[in-house]
Amino acid sequence: MNSITFIILIITIFITYVETTIISSCTQNKTIALTFDDGPFKHTRELIEYIIKYHDVKVSFFVVGKFHYPYAVDDESYQYAMKKAHDFGYQIGSQTYTHEIPKDKKKFKESLTKNDDFIEKYTGDRPKYFRAPKENCDKECQSNIEEWGYKLIQWDVDTKDWDLNASGSVERRVQDSVNYLENVFSEERDSYLIRLHDTQNYTVHEIVPWIIEKSGMKEKGYRFVTVAECLGEKKNMYNSGKVYGDDMYVHQVPVVVNGNSTSNINIIDNQQNIKSEGVKNLNSLLSLKYLLSFIVLFFLLR
């Protein structure tokens, strides 16, 4: 093998590595990222009011503007729940505007932009993280997602909480999801990236409380963090590079009285946050990739 061929081989391997765009596991040890798909919906607010009682628990949402009816884009209380989640430092990601990936590239981009506009309108931030609706983002979708600067986040633990039909009853569904989690938690993996749905009442009222209070994972030293944090890039959730909520529990005590929204605190924006290192790193990695593609082409066409 001559040296040019060797270099091309190395470069090709590198590019292939960089192009592995689906992220399905956390990289930080002893982290658990709870992710909620398809909301905000009826139960999202109760979920957030439950989670904020635990100052050491942060979660992530992959939201959709128009999916379950009544649509999030039309319902103030859902939008409020999303804002509250964002302000408490929970991560808001996107799952397209209508929970589907249009085949047409332009329409796909429009769907993402519309959903980002929706998220920004109520939270002030545009998400960098994306989850594929219907579990599937093919090669073409992956390269688009990468080109537009999103991170594609799937999961390594699927509770299948949405699949009521497979279990036959709510009780059975909760039990099936809990049994499955008990099993994977007993393996004490380095980390867990878990998929749930805030569109299910039993997920909010039974599965999540089981995970947080009864699974014993906190006692084993695991931390419940956002996806960005479990990937070691806490400041890369949004285009702004901002992180929220870290000071909140120090300066203010959230008060929730019977879910009365008028008793909510004013949430401050943590202004100390500066633009993230992660954003820069990602961009330089991407431009490096195009540069390397050029070099390969140059040698191949020479």
Ligand X SMILES: *[C@@H]1O[C@H](CO)[C@@H](O)[C@H](O)[C@H]1NC(C)=O
Residues that bind ligand X (CB under 6 A): 29, 42, 165-166, 190, 201, 205, 257-258, 260, 262-263
Peptide bond before residue 254 is cis, with ω within 30 degrees of 0 = no
> How far apart are CB 89 and ligand X at their closest, in Å?
25
Of the pair 31, 215, the CB lying nearest ligand X is at: 31
Q: Which is nearer to ligand X, 42 or 151 (CB)?
A: 42
Residue 15 one-letter amino acid: I
Q: How far is the CB of 180 from ligand X (least distance, A)?
A: 17
- We find the least distance from the C-beta atom of residue 59 to ligand X, in angstroms, to be 18
* Nearer Cβ to ligand X (22/166): 166
Task: Between 121 and 220, name the residue whose CB sits nearer to ligand X.
Answer: 220
Least spacing, CB of residue 203 vs ligand X, in Å: 10
**Closest to ligand X by CB, 166 or 265:** 166
- The letter for the amino acid at 12 is T
Other C-beta atoms within 10 Å of 17: how many? Answer: 9
> 23 forms bridges with which residues in the sheet?
153
Q: How far is the CB of 190 from ligand X (least distance, A)?
A: 5
Closest separation between CB of residue 261 and ligand X, Å? 8
Smallest separation (angstroms) from ligand X to the CB of 156: 14
Residue pointed to by tokens 């004013």: 266
Cα distance between the two ends of the chain: 18
Task: Report how far residue 108's alpha carbon sits from residue 128's, in angstroms, rounded to the nearest whole number.
Answer: 16
CA distance 301 to 182: 55
User: CA 163 to CA 169: how far, in whole Å?
Assistant: 10
Residue 251 in tokens = 């300066």
DSSP 57: B
| Three-state secondary structure call for residue 192 | strand
With beta carbons less than 8 A apart as the criterion, state whether 265 and 254 touch: yes
- Nearest to ligand X of 183, 262 (CB atom): 262
Q: How far is the CB of 276 from ligand X (least distance, A)?
A: 23
The DSSP line for 102-147 is -SSHHHHHHHHHHHHHHHHHHHS--B-EE--GGG---HHHHHHHHH
Radius of gyration of the chain (CA): 20
Nearer to ligand X, 208 or 227 (CB): 208
For 285, the token pair is 């990695």
Of the two residues 143 and 167, which places its CB atom closer to ligand X in the complex? Answer: 167
Q: Which residues contact 253 (CB under 8 A, 6 or more apart)?
A: 265
